[in-house]
Structure 1
Amino acid sequence: MIRKTPRKLPGRREDGASTKAQILEAAGAIFAEKGFDRATGKEIAERAGSNSAAVNYYYGGIEGLYAEVLVEAHRQLLTYDRLVALAEGPGASVDKLKILIGLVAGAVTAPGPSSWVLRVLSRELLSPSSAFPVLLHQEILPKKQVVTGLVADILGVPADHPAVGRCLLSVISPIAMLLVGNRQLVAQVLPDLASPAPEAQAAIIAHFQRFALAGLEATAAEIGRG
């Protein structure tokens, strides 16, 4: 088990929620710098200003803490509740998907140094750990199901139609490439991506939206002709 039931911590302060949040934030930064394999609970607790027993108390150990960091990172990109509210709200599915692409692409392409959120997710996607199933089942698959519904509706086909999965891959891939790619290396090939100007970020997001929606429109037309 990754998560264990916490034991009572002697001398525990009453601001437990604050301490837990500080540990999570410190862990996120350290995992982003070093990766899961080289991080230690002692180092995380020291950076959080807590004692070494706190990691075990609040998270059942460093494995449980890392799983929580992954889940929190994914939630900071986009929460499930916000995604569902968007999908179930008024408007056409194509407009909802455009908004969704803008939200996620905006987080990934934000100018300036990337936060630990992006770096932790990038490390995990490139080299999945034993905690990946937690991220997969708690965040990725539930959100995928919602987005699948939007794409299927745009295409006018059932959610299990083969074209839906292919279109999902095409929509996600450009954003995933920027998430897992080294920004400095990417910028050497595509210098415009390194521009800190807000209009440059807006142009990239609009490009992702335009290509994704045009591809969906073309696929829907092809399915209709079939």
Structure 2
Amino acid sequence: MKRAIPRKLPGRREDGAATKAQILDAAGEVFAEKGFDRATGKEIAERAGSSSAAVNYYYGGIDGLYAEVLVEAHRRLLTYDRLLKLAQAPGAPEDKLRTLIGLVVRTIMGPASSSWSLRVLSREVLAPSPAFAVLRDREILPKKRIVTGIVGEILGVPHDHPVVARCCLTVIAPFVVMLVGNRQVLAQVFPDLASDRGAVDEMVAHFQRFAFGGIAAVAAELDARKEARSA
């Protein structure tokens, strides 16, 4: 019996790293279109020009592949290294948070909005799978520690102070709304929200304004409590 030969596509490299990357991208497209429950390793392999055996070899099966797709999708939104570099750079924490808000908003509203990465994350947010634990531990929690450090510095409290968590949730909430409400849906509900360069800049400024308005109010309340205790 002849051994099946994986289908080759023109222009594809045959080394292992390229094959693994091709499978990941093909899987991202399939998961974005169909969700984890309806995706199959066979379809993913066909799109990647590979074989189902390659999916198992590189990712240990479709469950492991989906977890890696989630991790890669979050990295495409914002990498840990870029976030760490921002946090460690000289400058005021307020400027760092403004920059962070701008990075995320521009990614969500930019060309990446039509890519599989944001659609996969949107599906996972709406219906978390067991693979969310992998995404949480490898991407979300490490990045969260950096962001809470920035916000804590602005407020003058430790990063694990409860008020920092509440402020971070408020800052992040609009991003989640933009993520799960894709551009077509948001355009139907709010047709005046354009997506050209000027509109994106205005959205960045708007989110920054609301984030810092809330943080300033919380900081003032913290200061008032400190004064009351020392009186």
8 Å contact kept, 1:111–1:201 = no
CA distance in 2, matches of 1:199, 1:62: 41
Higher RCO structure (Cα 8 Å, ≥6 apart): 1
CA distance in 1, matches of 2:51, 2:94: 50
8 Å contact kept, 1:148–1:164 = yes
**CA apart distance, 1:144:** 0.4
Q: What letter corresponds to residue 83 of structure 1 in structure 2? A: L
CA distance in 2, matches of 1:136, 1:58: 22
Gaps of 5+ in 1: 1-9
> In structure 2, do the counterparts of structure 1 residues 41 and 112 end up closer, same or farther at CA, with 3 Å as the change threshold?
closer
> In structure 2, do the counterparts of structure 1 residues 112 and 149 end up closer, same or farther at CA, with 3 Å as the change threshold?
closer
CA distance in 1, matches of 2:152, 2:217: 14
Show the counterpart of 1:92: 92
**CA apart distance, 1:182:** 3.8
CA distance in 2, matches of 1:185, 1:70: 23
- SS state of the match for residue 192, structure 2? helix
Determine which structure has more spread, i.e. the larger CA radius of gyration: 2
Q: What letter corresponds to residue 176 of structure 1 in structure 2? A: V
Identity, % of aligned positions: 67
Q: How does 1:4-43 map to 2 (within 5 A)?
A: 15-43=15-43
Show the counterpart of 1:145: 145
**CA apart distance, 1:114:** 1.7
Show the counterpart of 1:157: 157
Show the counterpart of 2:179: 179
CA distance in 1, matches of 2:141, 2:60: 25
Show the counterpart of 2:228: none
> In structure 2, do the counterparts of structure 1 residues 121 and 113 end up closer, same or farther at CA, with 3 Å as the change threshold?
closer
Show the counterpart of 2:220: 221
**CA apart distance, 1:51:** 1.5
TM-score if structure 1 supplies the norm length?
0.91
8 Å contact kept, 1:155–1:220 = yes
8 Å contact kept, 1:45–1:55 = yes
8 Å contact kept, 1:101–1:209 = yes
- Residues 146-178 of structure 1 show CA distances to partners (whole Å, capped at 9, x for unaligned) of 100000000111222221111011100011101
Q: What letter corresponds to residue 158 of structure 1 in structure 2? A: P
Of stretches 99-108 and 156-165 in structure 1, the one that deviates more from structure 2 is 156-165
8 Å contact kept, 2:122–2:179 = yes
- Residues 51-105 of structure 1 show CA distances to partners (whole Å, capped at 9, x for unaligned) of 2211001101000000000000000011111111110110010100110111011
Q: What letter corresponds to residue 195 of structure 2 in structure 1? A: P
**CA apart distance, 1:123:** 0.2
**CA apart distance, 1:11:** 8.2
- Residues 104-138 of structure 1 show CA distances to partners (whole Å, capped at 9, x for unaligned) of 11111226862101100000010001101000000
Of stretches 172-181 and 155-164 in structure 1, the one that deviates more from structure 2 is 155-164
Show the counterpart of 1:64: 64
Show the counterpart of 1:209: 208
Aligned residues: 216
TM-score if structure 2 supplies the norm length?
0.89
Of stretches 201-210 and 58-67 in structure 1, the one that deviates more from structure 2 is 201-210
CA distance in 2, matches of 1:67, 1:53: 18
**CA apart distance, 1:196:** 3.2
- Give the alignment's Cα RMSD to 1 decimal: 1.8
CA distance in 2, matches of 1:156, 1:37: 45
- SS state of the match for residue 206, structure 1? helix
Gaps of 5+ in 2: 7-12, 226-231
CA distance in 1, matches of 2:181, 2:159: 30
